[in-house]
């Protein structure tokens, strides 16, 4: 019985040696074929630390547009606040006040406003400005859009006299901003430029008509 075990061990030895030689070839990365594979070029990726795939795609798109001579996509940043105690109608008045203003001017308006919700909007504007500068690299920002959303409307009992009661509503709302970079004076002048003469002239009833100014959608009656 021991002789059979010794013979089986001797028969396995050549197989072990061949497997060891194969692993050695793999460790040294020797190729057993006659074909020679070329080294694959390493793709050039933007060095952005701890960024997502979408940011890398955005950077590559901007580089491609810059090389082709086209204008890159405008930067923008969206911020939304949490719900706080105020009504959407009252909050919408402050949203109209800061709309289309530079961010610094909007913060000044909220700093000297007497409304209770102005302090909340001021803090949210400051946080949104800081995040836009750090994450998007935006400068000279403008509050392009500002809109208000409805939050929770909690109903509570308002006790009255003689066993009666009413229902009071505790309203909540939130505000959102959309920041964009302000246009340069050259871009603003180019956007306002029209080929029609007299397009940007003021239109008032008491202004006399100019012979060189075109009239569009003429009515069949006078405005006065």
* Alpha carbon distance 170, 84 (integer Å): 10
Question: What pTM does this model have?
Answer: 0.55
pLDDT score, position 22 = 53
For the chain, 224 residues long, the average pLDDT of each consecutive 10-residue run is: 55 58 52 57 55 57 59 83 96 95 96 95 96 93 95 95 95 96 78 60 60 76 63
* Alpha carbon distance 123, 131 (integer Å): 12
Supply 190's token pair: 């180019």
Domains of the chain with CATH codes: 73-182 (3.90.470.10)
pLDDT score, position 185 = 76
H-helix or E-strand containing 146?
Answer: strand 141-159
Q: What is the pLDDT of residues 76-122, one digit of tens each?
A: 999 999 999 999 999 999 999 999 999 999 999 999 999 999 999 99
* Alpha carbon distance 74, 220 (integer Å): 44
């Amino acid at each position: 019985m021991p002789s059979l075990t010794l013979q089986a061990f001797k028969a396995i030895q050549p197989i072990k040696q061949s497997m060891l030689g194969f692993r050695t070839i793999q460790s040294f990365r020797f190729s057993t074929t006659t074909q020679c594979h070329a080294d694959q070029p390493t793709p050039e990726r933007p060095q952005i630390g701890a960024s997502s795939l979408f940011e890398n795609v955005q950077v590559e798109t901007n580089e491609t547009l810059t090389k082709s001579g086209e204008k890159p996509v405008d930067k923008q940043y969206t911020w939304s606040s949490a719900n706080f105690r105020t009504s959407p109608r009252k909050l919408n008045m402050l949203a109209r006040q800061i709309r289309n203003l530079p961010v610094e001017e909007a913060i000044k308006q909220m700093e000297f406003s007497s409304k209770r919700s102005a302090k909340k909007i001021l803090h949210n504007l400051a946080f949104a400005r800081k995040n836009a500068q750090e994450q998007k690299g935006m400068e000279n920002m403008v509050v392009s859009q500002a809109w208000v959303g409805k939050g929770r409307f909690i109903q509570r009992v308002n006790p009255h006299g003689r066993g009666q009661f009413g229902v009071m509503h505790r309203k909540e709302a939130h505000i959102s901003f959309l920041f964009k970079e302000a246009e340069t004076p050259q871009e603003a002048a180019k956007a306002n430029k029209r080929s029609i003469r007299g397009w940007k002239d003021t239109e008032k009833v008491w202004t006399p008509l100019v012979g060189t100014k075109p009239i569009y959608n003429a009515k069949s009656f006078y405005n006065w």
